[in-house]
Structure 1
Amino acid sequence: MGNREDLLAGAKRCLMEKGYAATTARDIAAAAGTSLASIGYHFRSTKALLDAALVEAMAEWGHEIEQALASAPPGATPAARFEAIWSRIIESYDRTRPLWAVQFELLAQMERRPEVREAFAAANRQGRLGLAELFGLDPAADEKKAMAVGAFHQALLAGMASQWLVDPGRTLTPSDLAGALRAVAESLGPE
């Protein structure tokens, strides 16, 4: 690995161990085994490096989830597929707790950090389309519907993550989620 890759790896480790606000340039340089000057040379600033590391960590998590979900049982009913996908997502919260904590930490800073808002917005758009595909919708066939369904699952994903961060023992199970979704659909009545 080169200095740039070492810095990204070191920054990701620091983000997961210390959070965004508590990570310093010295922490990253020590974790990466590089000089402080290399941060400025490769990324202009510590914040830019941390932002890049966070985007990379989020992409890695998304790829991990995508890989895990691709193994959903073939020929499963939509309900079984929903529960299998949500089972894997909920299982991932334990491994990715620091990543979720950092994302929630940064949500509070978005008003003053437009570059963070832009990075999250871009990730949201990609995430919505990816989630729609995971749940069986083809974005090419109906992008508007895929974006709406993806946004629904994204809202559920973030809501579940926030509940899990606060009280992991009482987070809904995939079966509970499916039951709640059925109850909401029934309460809406026929279209």
Structure 2
Amino acid sequence: MRTRTIGILLIVLVVLLPTWFTAIQTVEHAEEVGIDTEQTDMRPLQSIVDTPEAMTPAQVGVVIWLALGALMAVLAGFHRFMDRLVRPSGGPRAVADGGALDWFQTEHRWVAEYVGSAESDEGVFAILALSALTVVLSVLVVVEFFTLARTQYVGLYVGGIFLALAGMTAAYYAWFLPHVHVAEDRYHD
């Protein structure tokens, strides 16, 4: 691991340790939420996986922050994977100074490396597949809200929509945008 990565993980650990200490403290006021089963047979609060019956707001906050951190790590890993999959480093398309637009180059800035976009059929198919996944998940969200179905899966569907949209963005970046490294003189007038 790189030194910066270890430093960031240590900072996250230093921040999370006090919150976890606060979160594991027991609280007696939490109760299980129930629905009157005499009125309906639906069980909208039935969970997908077994979870604790009572969580304090501190515990919920820690779990949310850990989930967001894991999501950011997954998105960063996916972005790097797509970038390395589509753009091999230093391929034959790498140009030292050409291919870029004129406004990239000024008196104090120039193009160090320019790799054109791949623009392949695989990119179009990946974006179309992720678009179809987004549409299917959106339809499932609408069906959950407008029918008498249980709404416990809405979070999964909406999360899937966001991940599919993030995947579409990463696929578009990887296949259809050029890769440009710009060098610039620092401390100039």
More helix by share: 1
Q: TM-score, normalised by structure 1?
A: 0.28
Give the greater-gyration-radius structure (CA).
Answer: 2
**Structure 2 length normalisation: TM-score?**
0.28
Q: Which has the higher strand share?
A: 2
